[in-house]
Structure 1
Amino acid sequence: MKNSDKNYLEKVGQNIARLRREKEMSQMDVCAIIDMDKPNLSAIENGRQNATILTLKKIANALEVDVSSFFSPTV
């Protein structure tokens, strides 16, 4: 994986983690809603795993945000 791709995954993951914390939700809270194992969500938030579009949609629904908020340059 190219560094630019890795950086992009990290920024998306950081946005997911930030939004989750703003909602005062733990990783376990989100995982319970979307039926995901915590290590997978952790890997997404840390930029180690490339989430599918459907997974991003599930996470966004759990956080009650639009998927596009994950791609915001704000980190």
Structure 2
Amino acid sequence: MNMTDKEKEHLKFLGKKIAQKRRSKKLSQLDVCALIDMEKSNLSAIENGRQNVTALTLLKIGNAIGVEIKEFYDFSTH
């Protein structure tokens, strides 16, 4: 499936927010992956906007780092 530029931008924004929130909690990608049983390469792809994240995976990531999903969509810091 070919993504539009707007869709690609959305995935990059979301990935950056996930990475920012994770780092703010002093967690590595490996820490989060261990908590949610995910390969590091998958989390890396999500954080770099190369992979679409499912709603369930987003919920798991949020729970693992202690943030609500809505915080990933805080456009005030974009």
Q: Pick the TM interval, shorter chain.
A: over 0.9
How far apart, in 1, do the equivalents of 2:71 and 2:36 lie? 18
Q: TM-score, normalised by structure 2?
A: 0.93
Stretches of structure 1 that go unaligned for 5 or more consecutive residues are none
Q: Does 1:5 align with 2:35?
A: no
Please list every run of at least 4 consecutive aligned residues from structure 1 whose deviation after the TM superposition is greater than 6 angstroms: none
Between structure 1 and structure 2, the one with the greater Rg is: 2
Residue in 2 that maps onto 1:26: 28
Greater relative contact order (Cα 8 A, min sep 6): structure 1 or 2? 1
* Corresponding residue of 1:41: 43
What is residue 50 of structure 1 aligned with on the other side? 52
Which ranges of structure 2 fall in alignment gaps of 5 or more residues? none
Cα distance in structure 1, aligned partners of 2:66 and 2:26: 12
Tell me the TM-score normalised to structure 1 length: 0.97
Structure 1 residue 72: deviation in Å?
Answer: 1.1
Q: Distance in 1 between matches of 2:46 and 2:11?
A: 8
Root-mean-square deviation over aligned CA pairs: 0.6
Number of equivalent positions: 75
Instruction: Give me the identity figure in percent.
Output: 55
